[in-house]
Amino acid sequence: MSTKGVRDFRPKIHFTPLNNWSNDPNGMVYMDGFWHLYYQYHPERPVWGPMHWGHAVSRDLLYWEHHPIAMHPDEMGYIFSGSMAYDKENTSGFGKDGAIPVVAMYTSHRPEDRHECQSIAYSLDGGFHFEKYYGNPVIDNPGLSDFRDPKVFWNGKRNCWSMILAAENCAFIYASIDLKKWEKTGEFGRKENLVESTWECTDLFPLQTEEGEKWVMLVSMMARPGKGCANIQYFIGEFDGNTFHAKEQGKEPLWLDFGFDNYAGVTFHNYDKPIYLGWGVSPEYANQVPTGEFAGLMTVARELSLIKTEWGYRLAAKPFGLDRFRAAAYPVADGGSLISECFGLKVHGQSGKIIFTNGKKQKLVIEIEEESIRIDRSLAGASDFSEKYCDKLHSVGETKRLLRGDVDMELLFDVSYLEVFADKGLETASMTVYPDVPFEKISIQGNLTAQIYQIQQ
């Protein structure tokens, strides 16, 4: 039970730490049927502090087993965000006695002067215990104030490892044959960037389309133009083995989420499809959330794809691992009761509203129109813990629909977290909400029908 706030806000199927602070997902890798999640963790208080790598493992990306801290701060500083390489060919040379090395690449952050450089550590027991490399750092800082969050991937075009990281307001790309010695091969963003903001947590991965392979770059940004709130921008283009070239951009930036609580997200390594996980709280008020002994959660895992629209290809997402619950969905009528705090809702029709209410007269409103979707959390629950949480920039999330016609939407609600996936996942929204008591009624207005399913262990 939470020790602060009016009640327990811990979600059921979204990852949360056992206690204290968590933020960015790190080092995510799939090995031997298990999903390994490492994450930024402060083990002493439920607010940001000296960063460690927490560790949890799951078979289904819904229910997690917690493990001891994987990496602690050292003489080089805090252990900031990074990624993992499943080095099955032992290119690093760390492997021995048949053990496949798992190599973590992360940012060493020296707090006294904010100096950031890239380091590595390796594990020979499947990612549970790590030995830091004696030759760290493997990439020193070239004189930048922000130089962090390396994301490693296998580069089939050059038959080597490549890595992308955030470098102030752009991304640098490097290559290596052994994960120890790196050369810079390109950069992206100095000319192409449409947003003046510090970049964080970049990712780069391929997706297949009917027109062949395309590459997607994700970039977390603290400033979203016209709205001022943190979000994730994405670019679609080509990777030539050295650098990335954007090809699908229009006049406006492309944003991953029209909600407020999805940041620092990246994809898992060593899986045949890009599976995404993000930090489910905005960094703008994450230190103030009313969740008691823990702070921070992760989004539900999402399988990413590219879908062609009249404006070109756009990134789509769908929840991963929920089929066994969807199979038990049943119709719910206007005025129906919600018997669980963790459920999914499948919505079809043309236009209307979905409203969740509780005995405290609090309400969460999802409004669907032919050309737009709007989510209003301004009256959904606690908000006075932060000046920003429900100000004019963070009360209502709204987006234009990329597909016209009847809506096909899936909502996930989990105690204090809402996720929306509409129009084949082309429009997604993620929002924290903190109702004083659970929502107990659903109102379905307009030309809409809905089916609900419970999510249980």
Instruction: Please tell me the predicted confidence (pLDDT) of residue 228.
Output: 65
Tell me the average pLDDT across 144-154.
97
pLDDT at residue 1 above 60? no
Residue whose pair of structure tokens reads 């809905």 in the numeric block? 450
pLDDT one-digit tens code per residue, 341-379: 999 999 999 999 999 999 999 999 999 999 999 999 999
Contacts of 134 (CB under 8 A, 6+ apart): none
Residue 205 CA to residue 71 CA, distance in Å, equals 26
Mean predicted confidence (pLDDT) in 110-116: 96
| Nearest Cα to Cα of residue 81 among 255, 227, 220 | 220
Among candidate residues 179, 25, 200, 17, the one with its CA nearest the CA of residue 104: 179
40-53 average pLDDT score: 97
State the pLDDT at residue 254: 93
pLDDT for residue 6: 67
Adjacent-strand bridge partners of 220: 200, 232
Which pLDDT tens digit goes with each residue over 375-396?
999 999 999 999 999 998 899 9
pLDDT at 197: 82
pLDDT digits (tens, 9 = 90+) for 219-250: 999 865 555 678 999 999 999 999 999 997 76
What does pLDDT average to over the chain? 94
- C-alpha 27/C-alpha 53 separation (Å) is 9
| Strand pairing category for 231-239 and 199-209 | unpaired
pLDDT in tens, 64-82: 999 999 999 999 999 999 9
Domains of the chain: 15-141 (2.115.10.20), 323-454 (2.60.120.560)
At 401, give phi and psi (nearest 5°). -80, 135
Closest to 219 in 3D by CA, of 234, 236, 204 = 234
Q: Quick check: 63 pLDDT over 60?
A: yes
Answer yes or no: 24 catalytic: yes
7 phi and psi angles, rounded to 5 deg = -165, -175
State the average pLDDT over residues 305-320.
Answer: 95
Interatomic CA distance for residues 285 and 283, integer angstroms: 6
Q: Reply yes or no on whether the pLDDT at 267 is more than 70.
A: yes
| Stated pTM of the model | 0.96
Listed range (2-6, 305-309, 447-451) with the worst mean pLDDT: 2-6
Q: Indicate the pairing of strand 20-31 with strand 294-295.
A: parallel
pLDDT tens profile 188-230: 998 665 566 889 999 999 999 999 999 999 999 986 555 567 8
Q: What is the pLDDT of residues 118-148, one digit of tens each?
A: 999 999 999 999 999 999 999 999 999 999 9
**Nearest of 296, 291, 256, 258 to residue 394 by alpha carbon:** 258
Predicted local confidence at residue 195, as pLDDT: 60
pLDDT at 3: 42
pLDDT confidence of residue 456: 76
Single out the residue of 155, 168, 264, 272 nearest to residue 218, CA to CA.
Answer: 264
Q: Which entry of 24, 87, 149, 261 is annotated as an active-site residue?
A: 24
